[in-house]
A and B are shown apart, each in its own frame.
Chain A
Amino acid sequence: MSGISDTERMITLKTVEGTLFDVKSSIAKDLKTVQAFIDDSDDDVTSPIPLPNVFTRELSRILDYLNNHHRFRSGIEKADEEMARYDAEFAKSMSHEELKALILAANYLNVKDLLEFLNQTVADVIQNKSVEFVRNFFGIENDYTPEEEEKLRNENEWAFNGVEQD
């Protein structure tokens, strides 16, 4: 052991595109998948950890989120408001496509708090939208025949009032 304290240790992560990110081990702890990899390794991890399912754009966003949240939590009392403002901006700054990609990455890396936040964000986006919008958003193909779908809509007709325009 080299005697360096945990908080100073840096972990290197490599995205699909080959970009390298140096991450403090205290932040890496929030990436539970990465932490599990580190814990499972017998020796100290020195070479970059490859993340075959994570793109640069997503990892960069995730680290940005984590770094900011760590900063807010260790700071002064007013942090709650700042954090809420940051979260709102963070959610707004992404297109729906980017939001989806980020959820997949956060899920793969098992970043619990971010994932909950993103799930809530998506829930808020889709809750009043039409069925077609939701299909589009998730890239889901409609596997109902027109007759089946007609029947289902009729049974639940009362639930279709008050839906936002796409």
Chain B
Amino acid sequence: MDMDVHSNKKNNRNISIDDILPAELVREILMRIPIKNLVRLRCVSKLWNTLISDPNLPKSHFDLSLAPSHRLLVYPDDSTKPTTVDLDALFLDGPSKTSTNVSFPSNKENQSDDEVYIFNSCRGFIALFEDPHYIVIWNPLTRSHRVFSCEGYKNYSPMRKLLKRSAMFGFGYDASEDDYLVLLAWRNTRQMEDCLGLFSLRTNSWTTSKVTLPKDPLRKRIISLSGVFLNGAIHWWIAPRFGTGIDSGGAIILVFDMIERRFWEMPVPKEIMTNYHPPGALVELGGCLAIWFSNFDKKTDIWIMKEYKVQSSWTAYKIPCFFFRPLYLSNDGDIIGFDMLKSCLAKYNVNNGEMLQSCGKFCGLNDFCMYTESLLALPDDFMEDTNQDQSGKCQTGKRFKRAPIWRT
């Protein structure tokens, strides 16, 4: 047998078709490569570019989560540039090797980073608010983004209300329509009713409606600034305002189901309800909803709902660290979070209760959010004349100028 078939000299034109891996095999290999390395490999050949740019690959890659990344978008207090940090690598390599400076996609010529607020993330996209009334959905990895405005609501000053925690913001994914939605809810004090504005990225339009929210959150309570997207729904932590004592009903988790488009109330563990605690916050840990708050015993309590919607599955952990802000669950099952007093990241081992600190300091956190990298693209089928670039799939750098449609 001619063993030359096995040699791979660069100039050997006798490479038989059998030596070249079929596209399905290449795809299987690509699925196992972390996203940050995948982008570079687009340059290998036109076939590879097609395989990597095919919208189904990012979907399968994302859904399979074979190599999920945990990154933090940080916008520090001390007016340094915003950066993204590879959290998995931070404990190994230290901050200088794992941080990357970024620029927020800007709507104006001289947009200062001061006027940008970070809300939350979903499937690799981050929702930002840029003064005076722009919402930006941005994928920091592919650099693509979509801008739209909420100017139609400016009479209700949703942003001001958000900062005073008397309005709600949410960003999530509707799997039934393959659509991303932005949600704003506020109280119309004149008409004494609660309003809901939903923006669909697929139809590029706002829909406004009246709602009745359980337990009247917009009047009486503090709301987490932006919701946590999990299991096809957005969740907000709603707790009584300081100084009002325990409201009847105490704290609740308000949930908006993305597919059914309705609100419902998720009960909070009894143990938290009966004792007064400082207001907490919600976070997603390892695919589960979790509540955390720093307690009067100088430790941080974390309650994780191990099975979604199962009340009895709330499990408590006591982290031996005051003001520990949990961020995510590592692949090894440690709770990684931010030690707000020491301004550094810390890792809590759930099995032996040990805490480990990372080196390097974060100069205070102003705005930040956790995200997982993805190569997903936003739905774009509302655009009539799509400018097809080479790959025809991503919206790199396109600024969307058409005014969104308002529907009531």
Contact = CB atoms under 8 A, between A and B. Distances in A.
Given A123-B30, A131-B40, 12 more contacts: A101-B6, A101-B19, A103-B21, A119-B28, A119-B29, A119-B32, A140-B20, A144-B43, A144-B45, A144-B46, A152-B42, A156-B43
B286 to A, nearest CB: 22
Interface stretch (B7-15, B117-125, B130-138, B400-408): B7-15
Contacts of A68: none
B160 interface: no
Interface of A: 16-17, 53, 55, 97-98, 100-101, 103-104, 107, 115, 119-120, 122-124, 126-128, 131, 134-136, 138-144, 149, 152-153, 155-156, 158-160, 163
Nearest to B37: A127
A97 B6 contact: yes
Contact of B8 (A55, A127, A139, A160): A139
B41 A131 contact: yes
Nearest to B32: A123
B220 interface: no
A101 B19 CA distance: 7
A141 B20 CA distance: 10
Size bracket of the B interface: 35 or more
A125 to B, nearest CB: 10
Interface in B1-52: 1, 6-8, 10, 15, 18-22, 25-26, 28-30, 32-34, 36-37, 39-49
Contact of B41 (A107, A124, A134, A155): A134
Identify which of B42, B45, B49 gathers the most chain A CB atoms within 10 Å of its CB: B45
B6 A134 contact: no
Contact of B45 (A124, A128, A135, A153): A135
B39 A156 contact: yes
Closest 4 CB pairs of A and B: A123-B32, A159-B40, A159-B39, A127-B37
A53 B43 contact: no
B111 interface: no
